Structure 1
């Protein structure tokens, strides 16, 4: 695939949290991609007409079908050479059929699984993390079953937009000027803004000689929880009431959530992974992909965006 250039890209999960950002960046890419299509449901057509109409006006083709129907998927792949999955955690089980159908198609040769987040091969312990179950299974399929299809895995760490808000484990309550931080807050974390995930996908698509068959790691910026806190306090001109909780406390909450079948168990696990080095790497692929620092969001910009979402 050394001389391969994507000519028709199909996106699954395009209107979801990360899918919207990826599609917007595909649309604004230069040089432009010849053809962009999205695969979406009838329900999405009825609930998100403004977004779909905006994309149609930009030249995006909208395929209305059922991701659970293998015939629909097979038909959607006709003429497509590159597929991008942006499916959310609740729909990841459908990726296996998407990959199977893509591998069997006459045209699809490149597939981006929905890997945006932590790396299941980051260290020996990563392979045993429950949030990595589907990621490990997808990589196993590509390693052992796929014959014609090449993957690219994009690892981006936590989205800064979704890391900041306070949940039952940690985060920032901007209204109350409160923060809950795990450990001593000094562990570095590689954060990626959601728009920058889209830029990373575009950069990978534009450089198949670097990207095909690889697990690429990118980040908008690498900072500690305390550095993020300091930037909020600086821009607001106020100190936060900060609570530091131990890693053992987080592990206890996580274990309780898993036992209860609480979906927040995944959140607790990821929060723990991030503050134990699971989202910082010896080397990033930003430079190899041509992602310059001035193209990506800085911590200062990320905090300003969070504060601009509503008055405080």
Structure 2
């Protein structure tokens, strides 16, 4: 696609980890790229460094926030596509953004801030303190307003839980023993954030992803806990003692641990006990799978990621 025909993209949350990767992927794909940044970000040294880095790579920085609808509309009128990558605590702040998109009338695709498990498919709503229901609420609002969309269901970021071998509270990879939740045979999915960004940007102008869920289930990264531990044992050249934690034991621990300290265990329960990332068929869920649509995007396998952590 010629550069002049590529959509102009506004990314909200460019100073966050994923938003930063999205902005880099957007400019690398020759999209005219804009980043919406709050005033407060310029007084944070880490965020300011990211802003300067993105500016040096051609990202046009626009000052604004999700709380200022008129400013949002001004920003929206400069672009064709909006990708929101705000933190989970800000998910409902997208309501004003949706109103602004509707008023602006020029946005041909909206990617709301999801970038995790499919909120319409999770089965832990009694445990997650609204983590998924708020994302589902935004989906329903987008659909009710008739805004063209793509939802990104990328499952776990590789930087989340994998560096501890899915051991909540552990900061390093275990070398002697490991807890396995459930029977250890339920599959979960891990994807590097930079690769999530590459798949997302590839979907921007693709009619096959319009009003669809783009699922990421790379075959080399869709693994059970037992398989992940097998890989790690091969890397370190020794067997780890495996302690199997039953569903009942894990649920008890979740209830005994205060929120939000228990959320890692909630996500583990959702994925590696209930199977919320993989129990359903993609095609029947109004979805398409990213590694099948974009086979030229090379993803880093779990084996490669763990090898890099030695």
Give the alignment's TM-score, normalised by structure 1.
Answer: 0.84
Is the counterpart of residue 42 in structure 1 residue 39 in structure 2? yes
Aligned to 1:20: 20
SS of residue paired to 1:27: helix
Q: Which consecutive unaligned segments of at least 5 residues does structure 1 have?
A: 308-312
Following superposition, the deviation at residue 265 of structure 1 comes to 3.8
Q: Secondary structure at the match of 1:252?
A: helix
Aligned to 2:260: 263
- Measured against aligned partners, the alpha-carbon deviations of 1:239-277 in whole angstroms (never above 9, x if no partner) come to 3343321111222232344xx4x1134332221110121
Superposition deviation, residue 230 in structure 1: 1.7
Alignment of 1:271-290 (within 5 A): 271-275=268-272, 276-280=274-278, 281-283=280-282, 285-290=289-294
Change in Cα spacing, 1:20 to 1:304, as seen in structure 2 (3 Å) is farther
Say if 2:215 is the partner of 1:217.
Answer: yes
Distance 1:239 1:172, change over 3 A: farther
Q: Using a 3 Å threshold, how does the CA distance of structure 1 residues 270 and 26 change in structure 2: closer, same or farther?
A: same
Q: Distance in 2 between matches of 1:175 and 1:287?
A: 30
CA contact (8 A) 1:203 1:289 kept: no
Identify unmatched segments of 5+ residues in structure 2: 283-287
Counterparts of 1:134-173 in structure 2, within 5 Å, are 134-144=134-144, 146-147=145-146, 149-166=147-164, 169=168, 173=172
- Is the counterpart of residue 301 in structure 1 residue 304 in structure 2? yes
For the residue of structure 2 that corresponds to 1:107, the secondary structure is coil
- How far apart are 1:278 and its partner, in Å? 0.7
Deviations 1:105-145 (A, max 9, x none): 0322210011111112237x46766431111101111232x
Using the TM superposition, give the Cα deviation of residue 190 of structure 1 relative to its aligned residue in structure 2, in angstroms.
Answer: 2.2
Q: Which residue of 2 aligns with 1:201?
A: 200
Shift of 1:171: 6.5
Per the alignment, in what secondary structure is the counterpart of residue 140 of structure 2?
helix
Indicate the residue corresponding to 1:310 in structure 2.
none
- Whether the 8 Å contact between 1:121 and 1:127 is mirrored in structure 2 is no
Q: Which residue of 2 aligns with 1:53?
A: 52
Matched, 1:248 2:248: yes
SS at match of 2:49: helix
Distance in 2, matches of 1:290 and 1:273, equals: 28
> Could you list the per-position Cα deviations for residues 134-182 of structure 1 after superposition, in whole angstroms to 9, with x for gaps in the alignment?
11101111232x14x2111011111122022448747674265443221
Q: 2:285 — aligned with what?
A: none
- Structure 1 position 181 matched with structure 2 position 180: yes
Distance 1:174 1:38 in 2: 36
Distance 1:181 1:172 in 2: 17
Mapped partners of 1:14, 1:177: distance in 2: 39
- For the 8 Å contact 2:182–2:247, the answer to whether it is kept is yes
Question: Which whole-Å deviations, capped at 9, do the CAs of 1:5-52 have from their partners, x for residues lacking one?
Answer: 6521001111213222222222222xx21x101111223223222222
Name the CA distance, whole Å, in 2 between partners of 1:183 and 1:41: 43
